[in-house]
Amino acid sequence: MSDAARRFDQHRKDAAGSVASDVRARLREWYGVEDVSIVSVETAKDGAYETGGEYDPVTFLDYAGVDWLVDTDDAILPVGERVRPNVAGRRDFSWRVENGCSTPCESDRVPAGIDESGLFPRDIVFGLRDGDRLNRAWLIDVEAFRAAVDANRLTGERHDRDDGTAAVYYPVGDLVRVGCVRESWAAPYTGWV
């Protein structure tokens, strides 16, 4: 399939975006900042990967895996987001290994960001959603995750999608076991803890 024919399934971004207020609340709580210090940089549909169009600064951040910027006064921290439906069999953390086109994906860009450019998400909020609310969320330390994968302390299962993307899925329990999770939160209707 040619790069032009492959298109990231954009409805996944729409569904994940429906929980932005819950993600913002988790970032506010963890980093101890006000809402004004948290900015979403998630791009709109039909980004340059899919259209061959021109990049803009926000698109560059998004393609580096950065979905949020958090101003902690000491530094502006890039944070990623990964939200999945709270459905049995789909509750594992996914790490993209193919974009469905020739452009590098997060499994390429994040290690390069750590090793070379410094532009990578320091943390990723991984959440499970029920409709437009988060049910559970974990804050994943990206450098610890990368180190665990590189050291073969984490193994996942690869899944290929019809849109040309592919990801490796890692059970959250394994991420906790090897020290990749900074924080976890319970369902909002039971009280975020």
Residue 191 has a pLDDT of 46
Question: What's the pTM value of the predicted model, to 2 decimals?
Answer: 0.82
Instruction: Kindly indicate the confidence band of residue 118, based on its pLDDT and cuts at 50, 70 and 90.
Output: confident
Question: What pLDDT sits at residue 55?
Answer: 65
| pLDDT of res. 64 | 76
Could you tell me which residues are beta bridge partners of residue 43? none
Q: Which residue has the tokens 């991420």?
A: 175
With 0-12 / 13-18 / 19 or more C-beta atoms within 10 angstroms meaning exposed / middle / buried, residue 138 is buried
- The per-residue pLDDT for range 155-168, each reduced to its tens digit, is 999 999 888 889 99
pLDDT digits (tens, 9 = 90+) for 119-129: 889 999 999 99
| pLDDT in the model for residue 6 | 40
Tell me which DSSP letter residue 145 carries: H
Q: What order of strands is seen across the sheet that includes strand 133-141?
A: 38-40, 68-71, 76-85, 123-130, 133-141, 181-185
The predicted structure's pLDDT at residue 14: 54
- CA atoms in the 13 A half-sphere facing the CB of 10: 11
Q: Which residue has the higher pLDDT, 55 or 21?
A: 21
pLDDT digits (tens, 9 = 90+) for 25-49: 999 999 999 999 999 987 655 544 4
| pLDDT tens-place string over residues 122-156 | 999 999 998 888 889 999 999 999 999 999 999 99
